[in-house]
Amino acid sequence: MGTNMPAKRGPAIDWINQRLDMWTANAAAIGLDPTDVATLTALTGTAKTARTHAQTLRNNAKSGTVAWYAAADEAMDKARDLILEIKSFAASSDDPQVYVLADVSPRSAQGETPAPDVPSVIRAELLDQGRVRLTWKGKGPRGTFYIVKRRLPGESTFTVIATVTDKVFTDESLPYGVDKVVYAIDAQQTDKLVYGPEKNVQLGVGNNQQGQQGAA
C-alpha cells in the first residue's frame, strides 16, 4: 500500500518524482491522461531545479555573511588597537586635545570603571533555515560589547563571528549540513576583557530544521 503525498514542499517533490516513471508507464491502467503525467513531469523538473538554485543562493548568502563578519571584525579589532594607542598617547602627552581631535572618549581613571560581568545563562533557540538565536545575561558598564565566537566540528579554535552591544545575536551563517556547534560569549569594555563559558548546541540531522524550539 502506498503513502499519501507529504504536505511539505521538499518531501512532496521527492515523493512525486519517485512515482513519475510508474505513472508514465501505467497511465491508462490507473486512469491518467499521459499528457497530464507529462505536464507533471515537467513541473516537477522545474521545481527540482528551483530547489537546487534556492539552496545555492542560501549557501552563497551564508558564505557572504561569514565574509562580512570576518572583514568587519578585523576592522573593529584594528580600530580598538588604534583607540588604545590614541589613549596611551593622550596620557603620555597629557594633552586633552588629543581626544577632541580623535573624537573618542577619554580613558577612564584606573579603577573607575568596573569590568563587565561574565556572560551567563546562554540560551540557544533553533530557528528555520538553520539559524540559531543566542541570548545571554550579564551586566556591564557603559560601552560594554559582546564578542560572539563559534567553533564548528573539526575545528580546534573559536572564530569570532560578531561583536554586538545587545545581549542577543542570531547566527545566520552556519554551513549547510552541520549537526552541532559550540558558541562562546565574551564581554569587553575598553581594555577589560572577560571570557564567558562555552555553549554546546545540537542542531539535528543535516542542519535542515524547520522552526525547532529547543537546543542542547
Query: What is the per-residue pLDDT across 44-62, written as a single tens digit (0 to 9) for each?
Result: 999 999 989 888 888 888 8
pTM: 0.49
Decide which of 47 and 68 is more confident: 47
- What pLDDT was estimated at residue 213? 41
> Residue 108's pLDDT is what?
59
Q: How large is the average pLDDT for residues 200-214?
A: 60
Beta strand pairing call for 180-189 and 198-202: antiparallel
Indicate if the pLDDT at residue 150 is higher than 60: yes
Q: Is the pLDDT of residue 214 over 60?
A: no
Share of the chain above pLDDT 70, in %: 90
Say which range, 34-43, 77-86, 125-134, 202-211, has the weakest mean pLDDT.
202-211
Q: What is the pLDDT of residue 178?
A: 87
CB 152 within 8 Å of CB 122 = no
Angle 6-211-48 (CA atoms, 0-180°, nearest 5)? 45
Q: Quote the pLDDT of residue 111.
A: 54
Please give the C-alpha separations between residue 27 and each of 13, 14, 18, 85, in angstroms, as whole numbers.
19, 19, 15, 78
pLDDT band at residue 159 under the 50/70/90 scheme: very high
Examine the pLDDT at 110 and tell me if it is beyond 70: no
Q: Are 116 and 189 in contact (CB under 8 A)?
A: yes
Q: Is the dihedral of CA 214, 59, 172, 46 positive or negative?
A: negative
Residue (of 216, 201, 206, 200) closest to 175 by Cα position: 206
Spell out the alpha helix ranges (H) of the chain: 9-25, 34-93, 97-102
